[in-house]
Structure 1
Amino acid sequence: MTELLPLDPDQLLTTTRSVRKRLDLDRPVELEVVREALEVALQAPSGSNSQTWHWIVLTDPEVKQKVADLYAKSFATYSANQPRRDDTARRVASSAQYLADTMGQVPVLVIGAIYSGGELPKGNQAGLWGSLLPGAWSLSLALRARGLGSAWTTLHLAYEKEIAEILGIPSTVHQGVLLPVAYTKGTDFKPAGRKPLDDILHINGW
């Protein structure tokens, strides 16, 4: 069992950040620690306790690079259309660019996917993704507790079919999130700035 960081629940929830530039690309990540974190993630809720999620863990350098190349291609398109409004936006853009440039060097890539039976449902898809994304966030929290970091990414979905072909993912399973996973350079993450609660809180109606 991996030793856990001394974080209480509120600290864990408020200091689990999207980590990009502070991912340690040189330190190997043991598959066992990823398995430990996934065992925690499997306790997350899913609709009707269906547990139709799948977790594709990539450690092979050649396979990771193929996925990383498609991610970088998608990021280039995305980045070209994003305004650089302020210092915060520019810092995030720099961090995101770094991840796109180094994705193939990250020790482990984890793709969270879910069985859909075929085509995605029309209309509101909250029921489907609500059975995957809580597990992916639990995985992020479990990794943080073990001194590892990740960054919630979905840009690879622009090339979902191509990635599915590379990885042999069947057409009945759809990808929902890609998490690059590595030990972090330091563990001293802090809560981020957020909008005031009263600006977004609605009680008994809008």
Structure 2
Amino acid sequence: MSELLPLDPDQLLTTTRSVRKRLDLERPVPLSVVREALEVALQAPSGSNSQGWHWIVITDPELKKQVAAHYARSYSDYAAARPSGDDGSTMQRVRSSSQYLADTMAEVPVLVIGAIETGGDLPEGNQAGLWGSLLPGAWSLSLALRARGLGSAWTTLHLVYEREVAELLGLPDTVRQGVLLPVAYTKGTDFKPAPRRPLDEVLHIDGW
């Protein structure tokens, strides 16, 4: 059992960040630690307790390189399409760290893709029931990793090339990807809560 950081539940929830520049690309990540975190993630809720999730853990350097190439291509298009106005300091930091991750994704020790059984085509209309059976588990994985001194960054840009990545990894047609988490130990563990909109701007009681 890995040693856990001394974080109470509120600290864990409020200091689990998307980590990019502070991912330690040099320190190996034992598969046993990833398995521990995934065992925690499997306790997350899923619709009708279906547990239709699948977790593709990628450690092979060549596979990581190919997934990273798809991610970098998608990020390049995404960044080019965004307006280049006078961003605030927070957005500038996000842009810089996002570019860094796109440049170094192949060097991250472990990539984890969260996917889910669909039984065929994606459902029409609101798909909350489907993705709501995967994403809580993926977030629980992020929390469990943070508790063990590892970081991750919630990413979905590779999904522009979901079919190519599925073919690369041999995923069946009935399984769809929902999130990609680059995983590494972090350089330091002193993460803090991030600025957020005030609660009263987004809180609605008994109606809008």
Tell me if TM exceeds 0.5.
yes
Distance 1:82 1:18 in 2: 20
1:151 Cα offset (Å)? 0.1
Does residue 178 of structure 1 match 2:194?
no
Residue aligning to 2:126: 124
How far, CA to CA, are the matches of 1:117 and 1:170 in structure 2? 10
Equivalenced residues, count: 206
Q: Using the alignment, how far apart are the partners of 2:159 and 2:88 within structure 1? A: 27
User: How many Å separate the matches in 1 of 2:83 and 2:22?
Assistant: 24
Aligned to 1:72: 72
Amino acid at match of 1:99: L
Equivalent residue number for residue 150 of structure 2: 148
Shift of residue 83, structure 1, vs aligned partner: 2.6
Residue number in structure 2 paired with 1:197: 199
Shift of 1:160: 0.1
Please state if 1:7 is matched with 2:7.
Answer: yes
Paired AA for residue 10 in structure 2: D
Amino acid paired to 1:15? T
C-alpha distance in 2 between matches for 1:44 and 1:25:
29
Query: Does 1:104 find its partner at 2:106?
Result: yes
Question: Who is 1:114 aligned against?
Answer: 116
Output the CA distance in 1 between the equivalents of 2:16 and 2:67. Answer: 25
Instruction: Give the deviation of 1:118 after TM superposition.
Output: 1.3
AA in 2 matched with 1:141 = L
Q: CA deviation at 1:82?
A: 1.6
Query: Once the two structures are aligned, what percentage of the paired residues are identical?
Result: 79
Residue type of the alignment partner of 2:71: Y
Show the counterpart of 1:187. Answer: 189
The alpha carbon displacement at 1:86 in A equals 1.8
Alpha-carbon offset, residue 18 of structure 1: 0.2
- The alignment's C-alpha RMSD in Å is 0.5
- List structure 1 segments (4+ residues) > 4 angstroms apart after TM superposition: none
Residue 168 of structure 1, aligned match among 148, 167, 170: 170
Following superposition, the deviation at residue 88 of structure 1 comes to 1.3
Distance in 1 (alpha carbons) for counterparts of 2:89 and 2:149: 28
Q: Deviations over 1:67-94 (max 9, x none)?
A: 0000000000000112342221111000
- Deviation per CA, 1:27-80, whole angstroms, max 9, x where unpaired? 000000000000000000000000000000000000000000000000000001
Q: Secondary structure at the match of 2:182?
A: strand
1:132-166: CA deviation from partner (whole Å, max 9, x where unpaired): 00000000000000000000000000000000000
Equivalent residue for 1:135, pick from 128, 134, 137: 137
Deviation of 1:25 after TM superposition, in Å, equals 0.1
Instruction: State the AA in 1 paired with 2:69.
Output: D
Deviation digits for residues 97-135 of structure 1 (CA, Å, limit 9, x no counterpart): 000000000000000000001111111000000000000
Between the aligned partners of 1:22 and 1:86, the Cα distance in structure 2 is 21
Give TM-score, length-normalised by structure 2. Answer: 0.98
